[in-house]
Amino acid sequence: DAKTTQPPSMDCAEGRAANLPCNHSTISGNEYVYWYRQIHSQGPQYIIHGLKNNETNEMASLIITEDRKSSTLILPHATLRDTAVYYCIADTGRRALTFGSGTRLQVQP
């Protein structure tokens, strides 16, 4: 599994878009980019994943650069309930995922 690099923390104003970056410069062709988040005192929750194309679901959008070396998770209208640690993982998904330290997102009122 490719190593990912994320900023340790970020702030975002409530109602604004939260853009969380992730660097995965050594990602291989068969590795997906997965995003999970962990709200305080809970287990991680799946958000979104992608291989090459940008993806959108009801929770978020995932923008993957053309060279696949980095990606951005976008929460279009952040709420206080989006305060959490966000994990970016690059992996084939065939074995257990490795969760790093993630980005602690604090949504401010």
Partner 1 sequence: GAGVSQSPSNKVTEKGKDVELRCDPISGHTALYWYRQRLGQGLEFLIYFQGNSAPDKSGLPSDRFSAERTGESVSTLTIQRTQQEDSAVYLCASSLVQDRGYGYTFGSGTRLTVV
We find the least distance from the C-beta atom of residue 102 to partner 1, in angstroms, to be 6
Provide CB contacts within 8 A for 43, sequence distance 6+.
none
Please say which residue, 27 or 102, places its beta carbon nearer to partner 1.
Answer: 102
Round to whole Å and give the CA distance between 93 and 101. Answer: 19
What are the structure tokens assigned to 95, written together? Answer: 């074995």
Would you say 88 and 99 are in contact if contact means Cβ atoms under 8 Å apart? no
DSSP 28: -
We find the least distance from the C-beta atom of residue 71 to partner 1, in angstroms, to be 14
Residue 71 host element (H or E): strand 70-75
Please say which residue, 81 or 94, places its beta carbon nearer to partner 1.
Answer: 94
Please say which residue, 8 or 109, places its beta carbon nearer to partner 1.
Answer: 8
Give the interface with partner 1 as residue ranges (CB under 8 A): 32, 34, 36, 41-46, 49, 87, 89, 91-102
We find the least distance from the C-beta atom of residue 43 to partner 1, in angstroms, to be 3
